[in-house]
Amino acid sequence: MAVRNHITGKRLFWSLMAALTVVTFAFILRPEPVWVDLSTAQRGPLEVTVREEGKTRVKDRYLVSSPVTGFVHRLELDVGDTVIPGELLTLIDPMPASILDARSRAEAEARVAAARSSLQSIRQKAAAAEADADFSQQEYQRLLALRPSSFVSDEQLQQARTTAARAQAILRSARFDEEVASHELAAAQTRLQVSSATANGGKPAERVAVRSPIHGAVLGLVRKSEGIVQAGEPLLELGDPGTLEVVVDVLSFDAVKLEPGLATRLTGWGGPTLNAVIRRVEPVGFQDVSALGVEEQRVKVIADMLSPHEHWQLLGDGYRVDAEFILWQAEDALQVPASALFRHNNGYAVFKVTGDRANIQPVEAGHGNGLSTVILSGLDEGDRVVRHPERGLNDGDRIRVR
C-alpha cells in the first residue's frame, strides 16, 4: 500500500510539473499586446465645411476715361479719396478739333440719341428695382411682425432678410448705372459740341471737365501725371467700398457641393467673424497652379456680406479673407475621430475596446469633416475606440494603451 501511494504521489507530482511547464510555455509564447492609441465616442457640435482663401472686391467698379483727345491735367486725387457725383476729377484741354462733316455730325448725333435712350432704359430698370426693394422690405417687416406669434419660422425670416438686402443691393447698382448712363450722355453731347465749327456757330469749348459719376472712392489711378491722352483712354477707377463682395477660387470638386443661398463664414481678415451668403457659383472653371506646382481646376464663387457694415467697415477692395462654406452642421452629434474608421464588409467599422481586447464593431457613419465623423448607429457615448488601427490588429487581439 505504501509503495502504491508513493507511485501515485510521483505521478501527481510529474503531472503538476508537466502542466506547469505547458502553462509556462503558453505564457511565454502567447502574442504580445498591440500598442494602440484610444479615443472616446462623445457628443458635441460638428460642422462640415469647405474652406478656401478669398479676397474682397467692390461690386460696382467704374473706369473713368477721357471723353476727348487732348492734354489732361495732373490728377490731384490719391487712392482712397472719397468722391461725390459731379465732383471735378481733372480737366482736359482738347486738341484742336477738326470740322465735323455731315456724316460725322450725323454719327455724333446718333450717339447722343443712343445714350439718351440707354439712360431712359436704365431709369426704367431702376424704377423696377426700387419697386422690388420696397416690396421685399415690406415683406420682411410683415414677417418680422408675425414672428412673436410663432407663425413664421427663423428660416423664413432669414430668407426674407436676405431677399431684402439683395434687393437693396440691386437697387443701388441700378442707380449707379443710371448715374453712369447720364454722364455717358453728357460725354456724347460734349463730343458733339466740342469742334472747331459748331452747328450754331458758337465758340468751341476750350476745356473739358471730367467729373465723378458716382458717390464712392478712388480705387486706382491709371494715369496720374499730365500729358496727351486719346479719347477713351482710362484715367482712374472709382467704386463704392461700402458694397463689397467676396470672390473665392474653389476646387471644382468642392464647387459642385455649393449652391446659391448657402451660409458662409468669413474669418482670418483681422477682425470679427462675418456672415455671408453665396450669390453665384460661376458655371465656368479655369486652370490654376497650386503652391506645390500642381495644376488644378477651380471655380469662382461669389458671396455677399450679411453682417452689418460697421462690423467690416475696415475691409477694403482686394483684402484677403478665409471663407468657410457650411455644407452641414449639428449642435449635438455622436462622433469619433475619422482615423478610427476603416472599411469592413462593404461598410464601416471601428475597433471597440472591451477590457484589454479590441473587437471589430460595425457602425453606420454619417457626415464627416476630415477630422471627426458622425456615428449614426453601432456605438454609444463613452465607448472607447482605437485610433489609427494597425494592419496587424485583428478582432479580439489584446491591446496596451500607449
CA distance 178 to 128: 13
Report the topology of domain 62-239.
Helix Hairpins (1.10.287)
pLDDT one-digit tens code per residue, 168-216: 888 788 788 888 888 888 877 777 776 544 444 444 457 888 999 889 8
**Burial (CB count <10 Å: 0-12, 13-18, 19+), residue 4:** exposed
Per-residue pLDDT of the chain (402 residues; tens, 9 = 90+): 555 555 666 677 677 777 777 666 555 555 678 888 899 999 999 999 999 999 999 988 899 999 888 889 899 999 989 999 999 999 988 775 566 677 777 777 788 888 788 878 888 887 887 888 888 887 777 777 776 776 667 777 778 778 878 878 887 887 888 888 888 888 777 777 765 444 444 444 578 889 998 898 999 999 989 888 998 899 999 998 888 999 999 999 999 999 999 999 999 999 999 999 999 999 999 999 888 888 999 999 999 999 998 999 899 889 999 999 999 999 999 999 999 999 988 899 999 998 888 999 999 999 998 899 999 999 999 999 999 998 888 888 888 887
Cell of 250: 474653389
Region of 346 please: left (phi>0), alpha (psi -120 to 50) or beta: left
Q: How far is CA 166 from CA 127, 130, 169, 276, 315, in A?
A: 16, 12, 5, 12, 20
**Residue 309: CB atoms within 10 Å:** 12
Contact by Cβ (8 Å): 232, 66: yes
In CATH, which of 3.40.50.2300, 1.10.3720.10, 2.40.30.170, 1.10.540.10 is domain 49-56+242-330?
A: 2.40.30.170
The residue whose grid cell reads 443661398 is 261
Q: What does the mean pLDDT of the chain come to? A: 84
Three-class secondary structure of residue 284 per DSSP: strand
Indicate the class that CATH gives domain 34-44+333-401. mainly beta
Residue 149 has what DSSP assignment? G
Given the DSSP bridges, would you call strands 227-229 and 234-239 parallel, antiparallel or unpaired? unpaired
396: left (phi over 0), alpha (psi -120 to 50) or beta: left
Q: Which runs of E-coded beta strand occur in 67-172?
A: 70-72, 82-83, 88-94
The whole-number pLDDT of residue 110 equals: 82
Report the candidate in 44, 42, 40 with the shortest Cα–Cα distance to residue 353: 40
Q: Give me the pLDDT at residue 202, please.
A: 47
**C-alpha span between 17 and 39 (Å, rounded):** 44
- pLDDT tens sequence across 302-343: 999 999 989 998 998 899 999 999 999 999 999 999 999 999
Distance (Å, whole) CA 342 – CA 349: 6
Type of residue found at 15:
S
